[in-house]
Structure 1
Amino acid sequence: MVFMAGPAASCFLRPLGLHDVTQALCAVLLTILVMMNLVLKNIKFGALSAVDFPQDKYLHCYRCLLETEESGCLLGSDTCLLPPGSSCFTVSIKNSSGFNVMVSGCHSKEQMVRCSFTRASPVFGFWIYYQCCFLNFCNKPSNRENTMH
């Protein structure tokens, strides 16, 4: 007979409750934020300021790593710059009860294969919507309705 102590002793399969779904969603959001942060740091021109380049030669995008429609950008926003042919993006994570969080930033040409797709989230009941646009600050909250379809 095998005896288990600690947290493993109370581990059993059961339906997920609201608290468990919330924890799972937080884990997914944290994973997405970490991945987006890594992607944004690896973009060749993404961390450069507008002072470093002529304003008219680069695409300017709004960047926010966690945003809600009600509260706006929760972690502070900034601007990312990329050469022409790149895109701005917004990723929305939604469920049927109206929950919606967003991540915004910029993509190099090589990363644009992700533009305009929808897929199920690893958390049951949530969907991920990915949209790109190609004009300066087209992914800014005040511009999204007109520039992202």
Structure 2
Amino acid sequence: MADSELKPRIQNAVKQAMRAKEKERLATLRMMQAEFKRIEVDERIELDDARVLAVLDKMIKQRRDSQTQYEDAGRPELAEQEQKEAAIIAEFLPAALTAEEIEAIITKAISDAGASSAQEMGKVMAIVKPQIQGRGDMGQVSKLVKERLS
């Protein structure tokens, strides 16, 4: 079994939500577990913490995109639901990095990769992504890297 601390934490949160009869929280936690199980069955692997973080990060991004679409469509009640789900998922992510920490990671990655042009952005992102996954908005990071390499 892969050593994962996040999956047991989420399992315990499910139990607590059941005991407290928190239906919305329970539904979101079960949705998270279902996604983990789907990936494990499809790929025949046991998820480790790094992969769990990537999945949670993707789920939050999906919720934010949906929230924006619902707001644009004039459906504030659905946008609010997406926001609540994103907040529950975010509880299991590590603390977010500050702008200065992200800048330092990007600067180090650019020097490590020896990148000097936008064509080498992939090399830099390959170094940056594992360090920032789940702790920062990858879209913003990508923009920052692109600006630095331009």
Q: TM-score, normalised by structure 1?
A: 0.29
TM-score, structure 2 as length reference: 0.29
* Larger strand proportion of the pair: 1
